[in-house]
Homo-oligomer: A and B are copies of this chain.
């Protein structure tokens, strides 16, 4: 199977083998970085990227050490670039994969006034999303993507 993720076909259909998983920002042989573009995320936490491992492995420790290092070097570069560009209150990084067990790292810029802060983005909202703040952030995203593209080239 030649999938957009260039991944090995999994036993079950895998959306990260069969699709890119978001708006493609950068791509290297081992991984790709996408910006999350589902409607709920965009409306609440638009500064949300994922580093997706191209081949289908479920867990971080399914990778040999050299690939784990390459993976986290790239995650760190995403984090560093997003911090530099957006000066968030905090960065959240997570590899969960309970729904889609194909290794991917969420990198989310969090702000003290966002809908869930200080709770994780997966928790119950703490307040309504502020449309002005969200829109201001959305206007920055193409610049951040461009900075990520350069940093990850």
| 109-130 of chain A: CB within 8 A of chain B | 110, 117-120, 122-124
Is A23 part of the contact surface with B, judged by Cβ < 8 Å?
A: no
> What's the least CB distance linking A18 to chain B, in Å?
19
Cβ contact within 8 Å between A95 and B98:
no
Cβ contact within 8 Å between B93 and A60:
yes
Is A96 part of the contact surface with B, judged by Cβ < 8 Å?
A: yes
**Mask for A68-81, Cβ within 8 A of B = 1, else 0?**
11001101100110
**A93 to B90, alpha carbons, bound, how many Å?**
17
A72's nearest neighbour on chain B, judged by CB, is: B72
Which residues of chain B come closer than 8 Å to A124, judged between CB atoms?
Answer: 124
**A104 to B91, alpha carbons, bound, how many Å?**
12
Partner of A96 from the list B92, B98, B99 (CB cut-off 8 Å) is B92
Interface residues on A, range: 20 to 34
**A89 to B59, alpha carbons, bound, how many Å?**
11
Partner of A61 from the list B61, B83, B118, B119 (CB cut-off 8 Å) is B83
Which residues of chain B come closer than 8 Å to A95, judged between CB atoms?
Answer: 92-94
With contacts A69-B69, A72-B68 taken as known, whether A118 is within 8 angstroms of B98 at the C-beta atoms is yes
Cβ contact within 8 Å between A60 and B98:
no
With contacts A60-B79, A79-B61, A90-B98 taken as known, whether A119 is within 8 angstroms of B118 at the C-beta atoms is no
CB<8 Å pairs between A and B, sample of 22: A60-B91, A61-B80, A61-B91, A65-B76, A68-B72, A68-B76, A69-B69, A69-B72, A72-B72, A90-B96, A90-B97, A90-B101, A92-B95, A93-B94, A94-B94, A94-B95, A94-B120, A98-B110, A98-B119, A98-B120, A120-B120, A124-B124
